[in-house]
Structure 1
Amino acid sequence: MLNNVVRSVAAGLCVVVPLFLLALAWRPLTHGHPAHLVLLGAVAVIGVALAWWAPPWLAAVLAVVLLAPAVYLQPFAATQDTGDETVLRPEGPVRAGLVFHPGARVDHRAYLPLLRRVSEQGFLVVVVKEPLNIALLSGDTAPLRASHPEVPVWAVGGHSLGGVAASGDVLADPSVRGLVLWASYPTGDLSGRAGLTAWSIHGGRDGFTTPQDIAESRSRLPADTRFAEIPGAVHAFFGDYGDQPGDGVPAVSRAEAQDEIVEQTVAALEAVAQ
């Protein structure tokens, strides 16, 4: 009797929890990469199957193992209805292009308000829909760039973990001429990368990518990298997805910080376009 109860609870949780997560983040999940919906479906199907196949104690353990990543990967949703475009085009001629990787577990739509303002200055921006909202899973972005032959020169960029992925794009493709890091730094060594225009834009009160982290990243970037600190800004100010637990305490408004982030990003792309 007890065994059946344990099995029923394990199976029920593997169905109810994914449904709850889907309802809780309906818009970011249905507008993002389909891998997240596949994950939730797989958790339900596999969890129910294992609950009735495995011994009760193992079924309970497996239910936790399956559900933990699904809960952890729940995205930070955009705080406003921004649309869900992934290609932002300027009205006039395209001066340069930017492939942008969102931060880990962040709805890609949270970056559209800032990136639209960047695009309006003459830049085509392609926002990557990351599998499970994890930039390192996006794979090679060269096909995205190749699909826009009208772009004369490309930069890549990203926020937080997205910046790490962008740095990987630079290492993989010597044709990329610019790197724009938002509260991020490379894990690989780009210091010897000739012809790369690199900008590191970061917040002075960031609780995740701290000013010390940025200082320590200098040796991995080209010597002429431009470092721009946004005084008083925190990690979550680089997008519109609300507050992020563990972040720093801001000393400036989100709007003021984002004005400076946009200005510095436009300046970076203008340098790439020269």
Structure 2
Amino acid sequence: MTTVPDEGLAGTGAGGRRRPRARFTVVLGILWLVVPLVLFLLDHSVLLAGNPAQVIALAASGLIGVVLLVRDRSAPNPRPRKARPVLRALGRVAGVLVTVVVLGALVWLRPFGATPEAVAAMSGSADVRVMDAPAHIVIAPTSGTPTRGLIFQPGARVDPRAYVPMLSEVSRQGVIVFVVKQPFGIGFLATTAPHAFIDRHPEVTSWTIAGHSLGGVVAAGFAHDHPGVVRGLVLWASYPVDSLADRTDLTVASVSGTSDGFTTPADIAASRPLLPGDTAYTAVAGAVHSYFGDYGDQPGDGTPTVSRAEAQPQIVAATVALLDGL
């Protein structure tokens, strides 16, 4: 009697066991599907409030997982062929490397979410209105037409909303503020963002660019590459990479914390030769890196010896002083 092979065992070996290749594809598919899904569920409120690039990347990664799983389920049982162990091994190594790099990057890029108080500040107030857009946040006085503008680059992986409380205080002094929503929360992916604000607001006659931490590096880079475009530069717990020492057309303020665990006092001192000689330095005694935004504590930061409520008005005052001096 002739036995007809069971089609339901496609993709299995003897005894109904799944082929190693099929098991490998399933594991990869599950990882590509589950990791982005978990990340989105954990951080969905922050991700949806930021630049859409990260949500799109998570969705694309999840789609890859679905494709891998569907492809495994629908793949017919292949005809016997000569084994190619070297090619199969190389393919698996490449698949593992890509999976580790991409999914590992998505895990590392998890943002530091704004505090509830910072999120509440997005509603604005009687004298400051806050407007939310996919690629930026606008903070503007409710009265008058500001002629001074501040473009702010957030720190790496920090929720842009975390800076709204302090920058609202700056805006109350008659300044329109633009907070950049950087793709994946990385300033180097938004180096050209200031152009859009400058081009769309001809009523602003005096522009200042500012940034926190990595965002300050990007802000300083923009000032370096575009002489005459911005008149002021404010560095919050940051310093430039390229020298601005000979820039007589640029007014600079450096605001730092003496207990900062990332941008240390030694870093600020070492960067002095890169800044103009008349740079205004403000060292907030006892302040740490995370005090320059409202996103809670940051692992690896220093130990503060002053409260956030005491430190932040000093940061705001130093920023307003530069703007008033332009």
Query: 1:43 and 1:27 mapped to 2: Cα distance?
Result: 19
Name the counterpart of 1:71: 107
Counterparts of 1:79-90 in structure 2, within 5 Å, are: 79-80=115-116, 81=119, 82-83=121-122, 85=132, 86-90=137-141
Q: Distance in 1 between matches of 2:177 and 2:316?
A: 13
Shift of 1:92: 3.3
- Once residues 215 and 50 of structure 1 are traced to their aligned partners in structure 2, the CA distance between those partners, rounded to angstroms, is 52
For residue 23 of structure 1, the aligned residue among 41, 54, 58 is: 41
* Aligned counterpart in structure 1 of residue 146 of structure 2, from 71, 94, 100: 94
Shift of 1:57: 4.7
DSSP-derived class of the 1:88 partner: strand
Q: Deviations over 1:182-204 (max 9, x none)?
A: 00000011111121100000001
1:168 is aligned, of 221, 244, 257, to 221
Aligned to 2:24: 6
* 1:263 is the counterpart of 2:263: no
Q: 3-state DSSP class of the match of 1:179? A: strand
Measure the CA separation in 1 of the matches of 2:303 and 2:97: 38
Contact 2:46 2:113 in 1 (8 A): yes
Q: Confirm or deny: 8 A CA contact 2:147 2:203 kept in the other structure.
A: no
Structure 1: state its 5+ residue gaps.
none
Contact 1:99 1:145 in 2 (8 A): no
Normalised to the residue count of structure 1, the TM-score between the two structures is 0.94
Q: Which residue does the alignment assign to 1:153?
A: 206
Cα distance in 1 between the residues matched to 2:93 and 2:258: 49
Amino acid at match of 1:202: S
| CA-to-aligned-CA distance 1:83-139 (integer Å, 9 cap, x gap) | 263111123342411000000000100000110011001111111110111011103
The 3-state SS of whatever aligns with 2:101 is: helix
SS at 1:117 equivalent: helix
1:42-83 per-residue CA deviation (whole Å, 9 max, x = no partner) reads 222345556869744543333222200000011101012232
Separation of aligned partners in 1, 2:283 and 2:144? 30
Q: Distance in 1 between matches of 2:149 and 2:307?
A: 29
Give 3-state SS (helix, strand or coil) of 2:234's partner: strand
State the TM-score, normalized to the length of structure 2: 0.79
Relative contact order, higher structure (CA 8 A, sep 6+): 1
User: What pairs with 1:229-244 in structure 2 (closer than 5 Å)?
Assistant: 229-244=283-298
Rg larger for: 2
Equivalent pair of 2:237/2:289 in contact (CA under 8 Å): yes
Q: Deviations over 1:179-231 (max 9, x none)?
A: 00000000011111121100000001000000000001110011100110000
* Aligned equivalents of 1:153, 1:59: Cα separation in 2: 51
Aligned length: 272
Residue in structure 1 matched with residue 182 of structure 2 by the alignment: 130
Report runs of 4+ in structure 1 exceeding 6 Å deviation. Answer: 50-54
Question: Take 1:74 and 1:245, find their aligned partners in 2: how far apart are those partners?
Answer: 13
Aligned to 2:78: none
The answer (yes or no) to whether the contact 1:154–1:176 under 8 Å persists in 2 is: yes
2:173 pairs with one of 107, 115, 121: 121
CA–CA distance in structure 1, aligned partners of residues 249 and 46 of structure 2: 37
Give the fraction of aligned pairs with identical amino acids, expressed as a percent. 48
Greater alpha carbon shift after TM alignment, 174-183 vs 55-64: 55-64
In the TM superposition, what whole-angstrom CA distance separates every residue of 1:230-253 from its partner, at most 9, and x where no partner exists? 000000000010100000000000
The answer to whether the 8 A contact 1:50-1:62 is kept is no
SS in 2 for 1:158: strand
* Distance in 1 separating the partners of 2:165 and 2:317: 13
Preserved contact between residue 29 and residue 64 of structure 2 (Cα < 8 Å): no
Match of 2:262 among 201, 208, 211: 208
Aligned partner letter, 1:152: T
Q: Is the 8 A contact 1:98 1:125 kept in 2?
A: yes
Once residues 221 and 89 of structure 1 are traced to their aligned partners in structure 2, the CA distance between those partners, rounded to angstroms, is 30
> Which segment is superposed worse, 106-115 or 6-15?
6-15
Give, in angstroms, the shift of residue 3 of structure 1. 3.6
